[in-house]
Amino acid sequence: MKFAFFIENVRIALRSIRTNLLRTILTVFIIAFGIMALVGILTAIDSIKGVMTESFSMMGANTFTIESRSMRVHIGNQNYRKKNHDFISHRQALEFKENYKLPGNVSIWTQASGSAVVKYKSYKSNPNTTVLGVDEDYIYTAGYEIEKGRNFAESDLEGNASLVLIGKDVARQAFGNQVDPLNRFISVGNSRYRVIGVLKTRGQSGGMGTDRVCLIPHTNVRQYFSRPQMRYSVSVMPERAEMLDISVSEAEGIFRIVRRLEARDESDFNITKSDQLAQMLIENLKFVTMAATIIGLITLLGAVIGLMNIMLVSVTERTKEIGTRKALGAKSLMIKRQFLYEAIVIGQLGAVVGILLGIIIGNGVSLAIGSSFIIPWKWVMLGIGLCFGVGIISGYFPAVKASRLDPILALRYE
């Protein structure tokens, strides 16, 4: 019985909406604009968060890096200070790798050049290729995969071999699609190297092209890219993600011994988790989220006022109809519910239109930045809830006014 009563009220509400179609459409779009702004911006922010986390974790999921480069990062109101001052030497990096016994991968690496020129026959690249001196474990800790060819072997490093792994961009630009890069010789800087592998594409990471890279043995780098106080870094990827914090603590203890620090000395190196900078950036996106929420709520406030005015006009225009219903036995509660249902239906129509537009706009941004299509169920539920509230708030006063009309006066109304 109650369900049938509910369906009847919804049917009456829809019929009334069709009678005042133009005003209803305008109100629906006012509500939809607020929900579209809210859902669209928050969907885009969720996509940006996902891309940031993925980009920064490209150095290797659940990986942390011990490094010596002094640096200060300022994002928003946050300062991120890398405390070390002294560089990490080749000897210290090797000693740490030898002494670190927890299960996982440990790699040592150094940047040989950030602006190298790659040559193959008549091809000559711009001076924008990153050259890293690495060991056989680097591709695992950095999140790379071999597309074709092979990785370095221990014997390659021991023999100071002139071998290179090249990124997808380097392979495409130097060799095109017709030539197989494997076992071809290229010049990197002033030295010749034999290509033994091509890395799978990874796209952009933190604004840097990670496919425009050449990896060579770090022992070879010491010979051909040598410079005073060459800084080395150590990356560690624990065997299991839940071991990350334990591994960080263990690594700090071992590296303090490697650096010959006393118990009272502060650590003069920095340990950075793969997602640390991403989390700082994501933290600052909360201000954008707040701004989007305020914009949406202000728009919805305007929708509340607009819908209330429409409902009040509707009460005035349907005064004689209300009088007739009351004369035929309709109770005040039934009249009140009828107008409340009408306001709620208009609110939910606005929610549906706004959510659809918001998902389209948000995912437009998502696809533009290379993220996947997402349906933000949390924001969808929030939008529906807000529009339900808009309907209740906007419809309550007109519904009460309609329910209190005197049937005699209402029947005489012109």
In the chain, what are the helix, strand and coil shares in percent, each to the nearest 5?
A: 55, 20, 25
State the alpha helices, DSSP H only, in 187-285: 218-224, 244-258, 276-284
Res. 291: pLDDT tops 70: yes
Please say whether the beta carbons of 92 and 125 come within 8 A. Answer: no
pLDDT more than 70, % of the chain: 84
What pLDDT, on a 0 to 100 scale, did the predictor assign at position 341? 82
CA proximity to 306, closest of 41, 17, 39, 25: 25
Mean pLDDT of 407-411: 66
Mean pLDDT of 304-323: 77
With a CB cutoff of 8 Å and minimum separation 6, the contacts of 2 are none
Mean pLDDT of 135-143: 89
The CA distance from 345 to 310, in Å, is 13
Mean pLDDT of 325-337: 77
pLDDT digits (tens, 9 = 90+) for 303-313: 778 778 877 77
The CA distance from 54 to 124, in Å, is 32
The CA distance from 38 to 303, in Å, is 14
Between 410 and 380, where is the model more confident?
A: 380
Mean pLDDT of 105-127: 90
The CA distance from 237 to 31, in Å, is 49
Please say whether the beta carbons of 263 and 252 come within 8 A. Answer: no
What pLDDT, on a 0 to 100 scale, did the predictor assign at position 393? 84
Between 331 and 205, where is the model more confident?
A: 331
CA distances 8 to 4, 270, 396, Å, are 6, 69, 19
Q: How confident is the model at residue 83 (pLDDT cuts 50, 70, 90)?
A: very low
The CA distance from 147 to 150, in Å, is 9
Q: How confident is the model at residue 84 (pLDDT cuts 50, 70, 90)?
A: very low
What pLDDT, on a 0 to 100 scale, did the predictor assign at position 4? 67
What pLDDT, on a 0 to 100 scale, did the predictor assign at position 78? 55
Ranges 39-43, 145-149, 272-276, 316-320: which has the least confidence: 272-276
Cβ of 315: how many Cβ atoms within 10 Å?
Answer: 21
What pLDDT, on a 0 to 100 scale, did the predictor assign at position 77? 53
What pLDDT, on a 0 to 100 scale, did the predictor assign at position 70? 54
Q: How confident is the model at residue 273 (pLDDT cuts 50, 70, 90)?
A: confident
Kindly give the pairing relationship between strand 64-67 and strand 233-238: antiparallel
Res. 373: pLDDT tops 80: no
Please say whether the beta carbons of 346 and 390 come within 8 A. Answer: no
What pLDDT, on a 0 to 100 scale, did the predictor assign at position 138? 92
pTM above 0.75? Answer: no
The CA distance from 139 to 252, in Å, is 23
Task: Name the average pLDDT for the chain.
Answer: 80
Mean pLDDT of 65-84: 57
With a CB cutoff of 8 Å and minimum separation 6, the contacts of 282 are 49, 52, 53
Mean pLDDT of 218-232: 85
Res. 259: pLDDT tops 70: yes
Res. 89: pLDDT tops 70: yes
pLDDT more than 90, % of the chain: 19
Between 301 and 136, where is the model more confident?
A: 136
Res. 146: pLDDT tops 80: yes
What pLDDT, on a 0 to 100 scale, did the predictor assign at position 197? 94
List the beta strands (DSSP E) in 276-338: none
Look up residue 365 and give its two tokens. Answer: 């941004």
Kindly give the pairing relationship between strand 163-166 and strand 191-199: parallel
Between 295 and 149, where is the model more confident?
A: 149
Q: How confident is the model at residue 151 (pLDDT cuts 50, 70, 90)?
A: very high
Res. 234: pLDDT tops 70: yes
Mean pLDDT of 335-348: 82
